[in-house]
Amino acid sequence: IPVPSPEPLSEPQHLHKLFTRQDVQSPINGSLPNVTIFATGGTIASQGSSNTQTVGYSIGLGVQQIVDAVPEILNISNIAGYQVSNVGSGSINETILLELNSLITAELEKDDIAGVIITHGTDTLEETAFFMDLTIDSPKPVICVGAMRPATALSADGPLNLLQAVTLAASPNALGRGTMITLNDRIGSAFYTTKNNANSLDTFYSTEAGQLGFFINQVPYFYYEPAKPIGLTHFDLAGMTTLPQIDILYAHQDMDALLFNSSVQNGAEGIVYAGVGAGGMSSKASVAAEAVYNETGIPMVASHRSADGFVPADDGDYIIASGFFNPQKARILLQLAVASGFGESEIRGVFAESYPSPGGGMRRK
Ligand SMILES: NC(=O)C[C@H](N)C(=O)O
Task: Pick from 40, 43, 46, 128 the residue to mutate for probing ligand 1's pocket: most ligand atoms within 8 Å of its CB.
Answer: 43
Round to whole Å and give the CA distance between 121 and 147. 7
The answer to whether 36 is a known catalytic residue is no
Round to whole Å and give the CA distance between 323 and 320. 9
pLDDT over 90 at 361, yes or no: no
Could you report the per-residue pLDDT of 310-345, keeping only the tens digit for each?
Answer: 898 876 788 999 999 999 999 999 999 999 999 999
Binding residues for substrate: 89, 122-123
**Integer CA distances (angstroms), 298 to 80, 233, 322, 347, 362, in order:** 43, 21, 15, 11, 16
Q: Which CATH class is domain 246-352?
A: alpha beta
Round to whole Å and give the CA distance between 260 and 258. 5
CATH hierarchy code of domain 16-222: 3.40.50.1170
pLDDT over 80 at 263, yes or no: yes
Which residue, by CA, sits nearest to atom 6 of ligand 1? 88
Average pLDDT over residues 76-85: 91
Q: Which residues of 127-150 are buried (b: 16+ CB within 10 A; e: fewer)?
A: bbbbbbbbbbebebbbbbbbbbbb
pLDDT over 70 at 152, yes or no: yes
The residue extents of the domains of the chain are: 16-222, 246-352
C-alpha of residue 196 to centroid of ligand 1, in Å? 13
Name the CA radius of gyration of the chain, rounded.
21
The answer to whether 43 is a known catalytic residue is yes
Task: Pick from 93, 120, 122 the residue to mutate for probing ligand 1's pocket: most ligand atoms within 8 Å of its CB.
Answer: 122
Tell me, yes or no, if the two domains 16-222 and 246-352 fold the same way.
Answer: yes
Round to whole Å and give the CA distance between 115 and 134. 17
Which residue, by CA, sits nearest to atom 7 of ligand 1? 121
Could you report the per-residue pLDDT of 231-262, keeping only the tens digit for each?
Answer: 899 999 998 999 999 999 999 999 988 999 99
> Which helix (DSSP H) or strand (DSSP E) does residue 286 occupy?
helix 283-296
3-state secondary structure of 239: coil
Ligand 1: atom nearest CA of 203 is: 1
Q: Using alpha carbons, select from 312, 329, 84, 37 the residue that is nearest to residue 189.
A: 329
Angle of helix 327-339 relative to helix 125-135, nearest 10 degrees, comes to 40
